[in-house]
């Protein structure tokens, strides 16, 4: 530990205490007001207070502070082009400041907190770039051209669901679609094949009741990808929500050839979903312009169309005016 008493090292310590706490406050406010994650907000606030209270000799720090002589005091702040850039810059500010404090004080607290910040950086930044599912139509098809048309129609999401082609062909489709979906800023979801979702860098993966646990899928995909789960009962929906799904499918609401092996569940679950499901949910099964009149009564955030994809523009105009 360096002897910092009555010398200019206080300026280094003071500057970096301020740097770290200011950076943490920027990140904390993102978690509080933008991503609305209370647990992360509380954790960041706790770390910020620990840093603020880590140097008890505040009087000497303030006495040695000389803003007029600080060559960086008049620097013009950089403009951040997006939230990702803002978070990245402030995490780096915090990490670098903690390293300086560790070196100049020799205190282990700064090393411990720095490694906590590394973990939070991964979680918060990756989560910040996760796509969102806008209110509207969720288009499902094995036909690449239909999904491309969905991008033109500005649907909320497209899902590649191919039960027939070999996996190599599906991967090629996914790679082409992902490039176009990214340009359109519309999420591409892959059904059934987690490896295809990973290799194509798709925005998410849709799973069924017999698939891997959502927690295991999350480990493979990371916090920045969407995970969906098909559900037929409210209990399954609540479980998927608690397990970390980003959205759930509810259905089949009505009989449909796309889910011929499953019995239609009707409207009871859809009616209850608004009260118990906080994540987005997709009504699926037998939906077309005619059945939408009944479906719309329950106000699902998204509806899935498969066979009736040609009716999308008409349904958008009638039920999903943007």
**Tens digits of residue pLDDT in 221-279:** 999 999 999 999 999 999 999 999 999 999 999 987 766 677 999 999 999 999 999 99
- Determine the pLDDT at residue 279: 97
pLDDT at residue 6 above 50?
A: no
Range with lowest mean pLDDT among 66-75, 150-159, 260-269, 295-304 = 66-75
**140-166 average pLDDT score:** 98
* 223 neighbors 126 (Cβ within 8 angstroms): yes
Which structure tokens are listed for 57?
Answer: 């000799």
Nearest to 130 by CA among 200, 225, 35: 225
Nearest to 177 by CA among 162, 188, 193: 188
Residue with tokens 């009555």: 6
pLDDT at residue 75 above 80?
A: no
**Beta-carbon contacts of residue 161 (< 8 Å; ≥ 6 apart):** 140, 141, 142, 191, 192, 206
Alpha carbons 177 and 161: distance in angstroms, whole number: 12
What is the reported pTM? Answer: 0.85
pLDDT at residue 60 above 80?
A: no
Higher-confidence residue of 41 and 74: namely 41
- Determine the pLDDT at residue 62: 65
Which structure tokens are listed for 252?
Answer: 């089949």
**121-132 average pLDDT score:** 95
* 177 neighbors 188 (Cβ within 8 angstroms): yes
Confidence of residue 321 (pLDDT cuts 50, 70, 90): confident
Nearest to 131 by CA among 151, 154, 156, 150: 156
Alpha carbons 205 and 228: distance in angstroms, whole number: 6
Strands 226-231 and 247-250 come out as parallel
Assign 163 to helix, strand or coil.
coil
Residue with tokens 């082009």: 81
Alpha carbon of residue 16 to chain centroid: 31
- Determine the pLDDT at residue 98: 98
Confidence of residue 4 (pLDDT cuts 50, 70, 90): very low
Confidence of residue 80 (pLDDT cuts 50, 70, 90): confident
Alpha carbons 204 and 196: distance in angstroms, whole number: 10
Which structure tokens are listed for 247?
Answer: 């959205």
Alpha carbons 288 and 135: distance in angstroms, whole number: 17
Q: What are phi and psi of 164, to 5 degrees?
A: -115, -45
pLDDT at residue 203 above 50?
A: yes
pLDDT at residue 37 above 50?
A: yes
* 121 neighbors 90 (Cβ within 8 angstroms): no
């Amino acid at each position: 530990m360096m002897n910092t008493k009555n010398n200019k090292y206080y300026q280094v310590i003071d500057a970096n205490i301020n740097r770290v706490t200011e950076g943490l406050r920027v990140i904390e406010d993102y978690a509080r007001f933008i991503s609305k994650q209370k647990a992360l907000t509380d954790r960041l606030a706790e770390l910020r207070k620990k840093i603020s209270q880590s140097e008890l000799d505040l009087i000497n720090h303030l006495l040695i502070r000389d803003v007029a002589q600080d060559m960086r005091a008049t620097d013009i702040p950089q403009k951040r082009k997006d939230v990702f850039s803002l978070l990245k810059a402030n995490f780096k500010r915090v990490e670098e400041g903690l390293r300086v404090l560790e070196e100049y004080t020799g205190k282990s607290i700064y090393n411990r907190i720095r490694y906590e910040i590394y973990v939070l950086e991964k979680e918060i930044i990756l989560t910040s770039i996760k796509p969102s599912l806008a209110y509207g139509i969720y288009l499902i098809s094995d036909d690449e051209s239909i999904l491309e048309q969905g991008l033109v129609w500005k649907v909320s999401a497209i899902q590649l669901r191919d039960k027939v082609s070999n996996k190599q062909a599906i991967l090629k489709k996914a790679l082409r679609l992902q490039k176009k979906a990214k340009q359109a800023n519309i999420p591409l979801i892959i059904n059934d094949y987690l490896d295809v979702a990973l290799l194509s860098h798709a925005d998410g993966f849709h799973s069924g009741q017999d698939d891997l646990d959502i927690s295991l899928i999350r480990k493979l995909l990371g916090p920045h990808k969407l995970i969906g789960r098909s559900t037929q009962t409210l209990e399954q929906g609540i479980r998927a929500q608690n397990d970390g799904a980003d959205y759930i499918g509810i259905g089949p609401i009505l009989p449909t050839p796309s889910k011929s092996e499953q019995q239609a569940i009707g409207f009871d679950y859809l009616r209850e979903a608004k009260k118990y499901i906080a994540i987005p949910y997709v009504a699926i099964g037998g939906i077309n312009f005619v059945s939408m009149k009944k479906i719309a009564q329950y106000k699902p955030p998204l509806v899935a169309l498969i066979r009736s994809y040609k009716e999308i523009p008409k349904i958008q105009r009638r039920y999903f005016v943007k």
